[in-house]
A = this chain, B = another copy of it.
């Protein structure tokens, strides 16, 4: 039997002429030379002088192992881009091979256009070398600083999901995605292969995965490099691909194989797209992918100090150090660099020789200058209907019960509709769109599904714009890829399980921070919007394992200028917040709101006003309005805490009519921080006006209580702040019992007030007996009936 590999080999004979071969190999040598130079050299970039210790960096940092393979791929992609006028971006999963991407972007001239100081000559080459992994310079991995990149080489695992995200709704784009064999062991990468079940060749572009087997991770072989050829082939077929193998170490043979393979792959991609777009074929195709097996540290020193180095884990980072001190190492470095014959590659002035420049694609076809990799350039505003048209009618606070996400879902549906022709908006989630009450979306679009569809299926279609896979990692990766290439998105998720992507959030937040601070040429992109629902307080049948509101805490540790957190208390505020988030740029917005039927508080006018301020006194619930001198401030953030606070106020106003209460609701959590720490932070004077400078504050908060202390720590009245929130007590129980277990319920809040208002001391015993009795009633009732007391479920509001 002839496998794909052998077939290609037989076809590959003499595909490149001798001259073409020579040129392509020279270009590769140039990229390798520049890569080694970045890792090692401070000066003498063209080795015009004999190499001396002072030309070498004192600290040697970087990853050589993967770099020549990345260079090899880059030059071959350049060839096919030119040959077929392709619109392509390069995603480098082994992103710590930063020197490769930087070298290539410099060789194609893009780097000097973005960074004129790093010019396309000897002086620029010297800067290019020096800045790499050098204070004030550039990171050693692919980073936001790298033109042409949408994928940071930090944490591993997200290359493929980023690639797919980039090509959704970009029919002419190809994302060539190099997957490192280390990265391939991560969970997120292992499942991202299945993204091909969600890519529609008719309207989406193509991903060409290139699994780069160079055999070793830091110190270990990789799993995929040490399974049999047959198993690996089966695995890729099982993932739904048609694998091509390019394996070897002889450059000439490898160039020929790579040319033939890429030609075959792009023939197939063209055929697949033709069948889908012209013939209307809707079957999921078997997309090509490449397994490139090449030596780790290819073309590097075979041996260092008598130990095997090329094709070994010793090549992973810097293959040898101590170059300044060890003359043998210095000689080894010089001979290694000279083995690339720089004099054949660069002009006397340090530019790439003209015949090699011929290999570079034109203008925006250069992968370093592809506008898709600087998505803000392509970003179009969403066409948005007026969110106020989706308002729920709330004649009086607490008079209406509704599921907050439903009006928002209708708003999203119409955004989807208005932007259908722009094809730049998608909604993502791990199979929870319907569960999260967003089904209105299905009036306009469907769930994307390229697999078999049977009649009982619910809103599946190859043309859908709702992306659902039971992998938060994949949803996040797709969305990031979609946003970074200049589109818009919305991610809904169970609150507890968004922690699954904590680390991905970190990486994206760091990307945005660096972009904001340091990279003016990266144009702002649409914000990443999370809608977290099925939250901690309503896990009636899922229980303790689904109860965790800590994502907010995780987010707050990141830079204030990239994060925003909203806790809309009802449907109309949720609409207003959603509108705001979808219009924003370069943020990560976190919106937390429940999906269960709940009381509605604000009509649309009040909601807009409230959300514009982000925080406000709810006068209709307060009774300190005569003289503005309350006995207590009852603050709340989050829908369930708002309900409990208002019910506590209701009790107090009935039981102690002369108690003056001010009710404060917080939608935009960051208003609590000082203005120096967050752009949304209230001025101290304004904060003091709201919270007083000396009255007790009982703050009912959605999440872990400490966060409120953290945010308000520098505020005048912080000493009188008492916060209730989730204290990690929970199980499968009734909604009201959950708040009782965490002392966040109306009765505990009443007791908190009575404890803290000095003039109530005499009445405290009476009120607290009332509270105890109610809590006993509650426990008895739920243990008997398994549900909350009717009077709790249907509270009779007295205003």
Report A's interface with B, CB cutoff 8 A.
42, 57-59, 61-63, 96, 130, 133-141, 143, 152-157, 182-183, 185-192, 194, 197, 217-223, 226-227, 231-240, 308, 312-313, 317, 431-435, 447, 449, 451-452, 456-458, 460, 468-471, 473-474, 496-497, 499-500, 502-503, 506-507, 510, 513-514, 540-546, 548, 550, 553-554, 557-559, 704, 706, 709-710, 713, 728, 731-734, 737, 782-783, 785-787
Contact = CB atoms under 8 A, between A and B. Distances in A.
Contacts of A135: 733-734, 737, 782-783, 786
B187 A187 contact: yes
Given A139-B545, A197-B226, A235-B235, 10 more contacts: A96-B542, A143-B544, A156-B470, A185-B474, A186-B471, A223-B469, A234-B235, A499-B506, A502-B554, A553-B557
Nearest to A240: B231
A787 B468 CA distance: 48
Given A470-B183, A499-B506, A220 B154 contact: no
A470 B186 contact: yes
A291 to B, nearest CB: 12
27 contacts: A58-B787, A61-B732, A62-B541, A133-B541, A136-B783, A139-B542, A139-B732, A154-B542, A154-B545, A185-B470, A185-B471, A186-B191, A186-B470, A218-B432, A220-B431, A220-B458, A234-B235, A235-B235, A235-B237, A312-B456, A313-B458, A500-B502, A502-B503, A506-B548, A550-B554, A557-B706, A709-B710
B434 A218 contact: yes
A543 B141 contact: yes
A321 B213 CA distance: 53
A178 to B, nearest CB: 16
Contact of A559 (B61, B139, B223, B728): B728
A94 to B, nearest CB: 12
B546 A557 contact: no
Copies of this chain, whole number: 2
A99 to B, nearest CB: 12
A119 to B, nearest CB: 20
A540 B219 contact: no
A499 B502 CA distance: 6
Nearest to A188: B187
A510 B61 contact: no
A155 B786 contact: no
B222 A470 contact: yes
A191 B187 contact: yes
A545 B510 contact: yes
A368 B559 CA distance: 49
A700 B219 CA distance: 35
Given A197-B223, A218-B431, A221-B460, A734 B59 contact: yes
Most chain B CB inside 10 Å of its own CB: which residue of A96, A140, A220, A550: A220
Nearest to A318: B541
Contacts of A156: 470
A706 B188 CA distance: 31
Given A139-B732, A510-B544, A544-B510, A431 B217 contact: yes
Given A135-B734, A189-B187, A557-B553, A57 B786 contact: yes
A452 B221 CA distance: 9
A289 to B, nearest CB: 13
A431 B221 CA distance: 9
A671 to B, nearest CB: 18
A183 B468 CA distance: 13
Contacts of A510: 544-545
A197 B468 CA distance: 31
A221 to B, nearest CB: 6
A544 B222 contact: no
A789 B641 CA distance: 54
B236 A238 contact: yes
A449 B220 CA distance: 9
A63 B190 CA distance: 28
A155 B240 contact: no
Contacts of A61: 540-541, 732
Given A434-B218, A458-B313, A785-B58, A470 B237 contact: no
A130 B782 CA distance: 12
A447 B154 CA distance: 25
B219 A194 contact: no
Contacts of A737: 135
Given A185-B470, A460-B220, A553-B553, A226 B452 contact: yes
Nearest to A709: B713
B141 A542 contact: yes
A265 to B, nearest CB: 20
Contacts of A728: 513, 557-559
Nearest to A562: B728
A227 B452 CA distance: 8
Contacts of A470: 156, 182-183, 185-186, 217, 222
Given A238-B232, A553-B557, A451 B497 contact: no
Contacts of A456: 308, 312-313
Contact of A190 (B191, B308, B733): B191
Contacts of A133: 541, 732
Contact of A731 (B139, B239, B434): B139
Contact of A140 (B474, B713, B732): B732
Contacts of A183: 470
Contacts of A458: 219-220, 313
B227 A237 contact: no
Closest 8 CB pairs of A and B: A154-B545, A235-B238, A187-B187, A61-B541, A226-B451, A234-B238, A190-B191, A190-B190
Contacts of A782: 135-136
Given A186-B191, A786-B58, A219 B141 contact: no
